[in-house]
Structure 1
Amino acid sequence: MLNALLLPLMFSMVGGTYVYRRLPERRAHGLLILILFQLVGAAGYVMKPTLELLMLLTLHASAVLVMLVRHLQSPAPVTQESSNRPQRG
């Protein structure tokens, strides 16, 4: 089971970090996808529990938790609505 989940979980951590750092408007969707990858890994662990898979899932969960907490602590991005706002002056 570790062989089947190693590359997808590692890819999700790298891809999730890229989305988190480079695309702030898509952070929420990226974190949701990371959580879904974690659930798939947990299902694999239920099917065949091994210590290596548990360590991989713990590493993945730690990365997701750090990104999620930092996302929740950051201020919301400001959107500009210039077409609906009347001009001053």
Structure 2
Amino acid sequence: MLNALLLPLMFSMAGGTYVYLQLPDRRAQGLLILTLFQLIGAVGYVMEPTVNLFTLLSIHASVVLVLLVRHLQAPAAAAQTGEGNQ
């Protein structure tokens, strides 16, 4: 199961970090996709629990958590554009 999930989870971490840093208007969709990849990895862990897969899922979860917390702490996009302020 580790062989089946290693590349998708690594790609999702790299792609999610790229989307978070370079495409701020698509952060919410990127975080949702990262969360879905985490759920797929959790299903794989339930099917075949190994220490290596658990380690990979822990690293992936920490990346998702850090990006999600940073996203939630960022000011709202509407407040930055000045809509409604006249």
Say whether the fold is shared (TM-score over 0.5). Answer: yes
The aligned amino acid for 2:48 is K
Whether 2:25 is the aligned partner of 1:42: answer no
Identity of aligned residues (%): 72
**Larger relative helix fraction:** 2
Question: Secondary structure, in 3 states, of the residue corresponding to 1:33?
Answer: helix
1:13 maps to which residue? Answer: 13
The structure with the largest alpha-carbon Rg is: 1
| Structure 1 spans left out of the alignment, 5+ residues | none
Distance in 2, Cα, partners of 1:33 & 1:45: 18
- Counterpart of 1:46, as a letter, is V
Structure 2: gaps spanning 5 or more residues:
none
- The Cα shift of 1:76 comes to 1.3
Over the aligned positions, Cα root-mean-square deviation in angstroms equals 1.6
Tell me whether 1:58 sits opposite 2:58 in the alignment.
yes
- Residue 28 (structure 1) aligned with residue 28 (structure 2): yes
| TM value normalised by structure 1 | 0.88
